[in-house]
Structure 1
Amino acid sequence: MSSNNEPILGVLYKIHQQQPLTPEEEALLNNWLRETADAAGILEQLKEDKELVAYLKGRLDQENEQRALERFRSMAFSHTGNAEVEAATPAIQKHPRSRYLVWGWAAAILVIAVASVALWKMGKPVHKTDAPVLTNNQQQDALPGSDRAILTLASGEKVLLDSSHRNIIQQKDFNVTNRDNQLDYTGSSSVVEEHTLSTPRGGQYKLLLPDGTTVWLNAASSITYPTAFTGDSRKVKITGELYFEVAKDSKRPFHVMANGMEVQVLGTHFNINAYDDEKDIKTTLLEGSVKVTRDAASVILRPGEQTSVSHKSKPSQPISVQTEEVMAWKNGTFFFNRTPFSEVMRQLSRWYDVDVIYEKEIPTINFGGEMKRDLNLSQVLEGFDKMGVQFRIEGKKLIIAP
């Protein structure tokens, strides 16, 4: 497959979808029409043959997945001391804000050669790329997480939330509705009660609070809140990791409590990572301003800054961070930047609902890169082959053996 031919399929597909072409694509198409013997026939086939389009899209998925896997495997892993994962080849694109490797498992890039189209048209078989094969005696797999959560009402009743559950509370001026994988509180509740929304391992969810604040919950997280915010402040309690877009209300500050730490805001966007199995509670600001307090000590964050609080320390001085790394989970990806192997495994444990078991010591490897969260666990682990780490999945256990 010639890399010089790869862009033309994107142009052909845009023609089939009746999408406008850029001047560069027009020039590419003109060159291809001049140089390809049966170009007109292929164009006509694209317009009329739905099976051909389905075939191209199927080949696209297979080719992209295989190319990404080969890229991933081409990385060189070092295991001496506190080693870091570095790129083994300059052919792999790096993230514009990071010198660490970025790879796409299902990127929307058309990479099938024109020869494949011609072979289809002539009725000749085209070799398909096999799906990833489970290795290291791996006989089972774990699916990625999905939108699911549990709502605990003031009475203690637990409501399982999924795409099928709709109206939960219906009153004259107050409603709690589950729709489109989001829990919505609308109206004004005459009786203020405390509710808790929690996600299991392998779950995530979105919440619209009574004041209009929107909250995203990562896996194994929770938020406790009133059905109506009264008085001169708005307070919630959390565990795990959550992202907030707080509705502005200058007269009622918004307070988030997490393991003895408090974040105070008026209206802003920020993320809190407060998992019990992580060393620090990390607060990252994306927009606006927040005040982070613990034991009478406080710091003010500006956009793009982060502060850390351990279970015994005061807030650290703010540092600048890559917000796309922090928000990767909300945007459907894992983003690792000098991330220790053990932390990577904790993230996988939460998202794939598996317990990570180390048969010996924990590998001392730092990891850098990005991948989609919609992959099966076996596909993620395929990329770890060159790390010299053996693994196997047994039911809900991911067993690591260096």
Structure 2
Amino acid sequence: MLNEAQLKDLLDKALAGKASEAELRSLADALKEDEDFVVTDQIAAVLGSQSTQHVLPSQQRVAQLADQILSADKLAAYTASAAPRQAPLIALWKKIAIAAAILAVVATISFYFLQQKKHPQTPPITHTESNIRGDVNPGNNKARLILADGSVVDLDSVAKGLLSLQGRTQISKCTDGQVSYLADDNAPKEIAGAAVLYNKIDVPRGGQYQLILSDGTQVWLNAASSLRYPVAFKGNERVVELEGEGYFEVAKDAARPFSVRTTRADVQVLGTHFNVCSYAGEDWKTTLLEGRVAVKQQAVQALLKPGNQAILVNNNEKLNLVSEADVSEAIAWKEGYFQYNDATIPAIMQQVSRWYDVDIVYKDTVSKRTFNGKIKRATRLSGIVKALKEGGINCAIDANRLLVYP
């Protein structure tokens, strides 16, 4: 086992960005074998010693360090931590900050509690049922496209190529998981005053899909989501209607603002990147990555800058603004991850239910603890269950259900 002096030397190098691959692996290996949190406690002590030259790493620095260690260890990214709120804040953060950076190498999908020893880890699931069985594959690219005439195209089974010509617009399946709309200059001119044609794309639970609208705007749709939009935008505005969650990269057109309408609020932009989460029964959120957007909710309007997030808490129509939102968490689904920052068990289970198309069954009162973590969405459900168990969320697969125990 590394002694305190060796740990301090390695930690100083890692935090300064000067650690070699071999040194990062030494830190990783020490943590892998640290079942009783002895090394973690030593690292926390090193961070707390007066001789340590470095201040506690920021969340951004933790992420950077984790990426460095992951690169050295050639393992997929995963970090997680959770702890009781009553734990001493400074000591707890010291422990979580370094462990979150280094424990990334422990496993592809492992959930960890980093707590004071007087608050031991929640034990793994102790309930056993003879009918618990099976596994569930992660979601994939699948959706239904409803054309203007009402006909339905099953996008996950149809071949690539031209799907339909509506008006002067070609609708094509470009690759698996993507549909595009492109003006056909050779098509007959439309009759003046012709009605606007609308399409709708429905993404089921266990699915995701991407489309390129006729103006060049790119849209990514999450599971259990739908988008209604014109085949070709006309007039002085571009309007689409969203249910569920979508990420938008809007093509710039100063003369025609782009609006996303949802049941609770509207988002208007000229050209920008943003995420809208509008699932029924959940908090409504719009998170801005680039440009500026205006969120309109009844008589209230809020202007967002990059990094801002507008929130309508479920069952509360008061619009709240977060000035420094966790943008990476908001778009983690688009990047292929589940990411949880102080997430409750119901919030985690909502995402799991949609992506794996399983029903969540709570066997008793749900804990109010919160969790932090990052897991690849390509993971099968059994891997998610393993990670959640190790994080203290007792659950098990039962056919197309996920059972959650206290």
TM above 0.5, yes or no, is yes
- Tell me whether 1:313 sits opposite 2:317 in the alignment: yes
Aligned to 2:211: 207
Cα distance change on mapping 1:169 and 1:392 into 2, 3 Å: same
Equivalents in 2 of 1:366, 1:183: separation in Å? 38
Distance in 1 (alpha carbons) for counterparts of 2:107 and 2:207? 21
In structure 2, the residue matched to 1:254 is: 258
Once the two structures are superposed, residues 223-268 of structure 1 have per-residue CA deviations (whole angstroms, 9 ceiling, x without a partner) of: 1001111111000000111000000001100011011311110001
Partner of 1:145: 139
**Dislocated runs of 4+, deviation >2 Å:** 75-81, 85-95, 101-107, 135-138, 163-167, 170-174, 188-192, 309-312, 384-392
C-alpha distance in 1 between matches for 2:341 and 2:95: 16
In structure 2, the partner of 1:186 is: 182
Q: How does 1:80-159 map to 2 (within 5 A)?
A: 92-94=99-101, 106=108, 136=128, 138-159=132-153
Q: Distance in 2 between matches of 1:391 and 1:375?
A: 16
**Aligned to 1:169, which of 152, 164, 169?**
164
CA separation in 2, counterparts of 1:400 and 1:78? 20
The SS at the match of 2:384 is helix
Q: State the shift of 1:68 in Å.
A: 8.3
RMSD of aligned Cα (Å): 3.7
Q: Which runs of 5+ in 1 are unaligned?
A: 3-23, 26-59, 96-100, 108-134
Contact 1:64 1:106 in 2 (8 A): no
Q: Which residue of 2 aligns with 1:335?
A: 339
8 Å CA contact 1:76–1:88 kept in 2: the answer is: no
CA distance, structure 2, for counterparts of residue 390 and residue 160 of structure 1: 37
Distance 1:223 1:105, change over 3 A: farther
Match of 1:352 in 2: 356
Q: 1:149–1:162: 8 Å Cα contact kept in structure 2?
A: yes
Deviation per CA, 1:17-72: give whole Å up to 9, x if none. xxxxxxx78xxxxxxxxxxxxxxxxxxxxxxxxxxxxxxxxxx9xx977x989x87
Report the Cα distance in structure 1 between the residues aligned to 2:237 and 2:105, rounded to whole angstroms: 44
Between the two proteins, the alignment pairs up a number of residues equal to 311
- Alignment match, 1:293: 296
Amino acid corresponding to residue 152 of structure 1 in structure 2: I
Q: Distance in 2 between matches of 1:155 and 1:104?
A: 53
TM-score by length of 1: 0.68
Structure 2, unaligned stretches of length 5 or more? 3-19, 22-69, 110-126
- Match of residue 28 from structure 2: none
Answer whether contact 2:349 2:360 (CA < 8 A) is retained.
yes
Q: Give 2:164's aligned amino acid.
A: I
Partner-residue secondary structure (3-state), 1:383: helix
Q: How does 1:212-291 map to 2 (within 5 A)?
A: 212-278=216-282, 280-291=283-294
Q: Write the deviation string for residues 267-302 of structure 1: whole angstroms up to 9, x where unpaired.
A: 011000000031x21011000000001112101000
Aligned CA distance change for structure 1 residues 373 and 297 (closer, same or farther; 3 Å): same
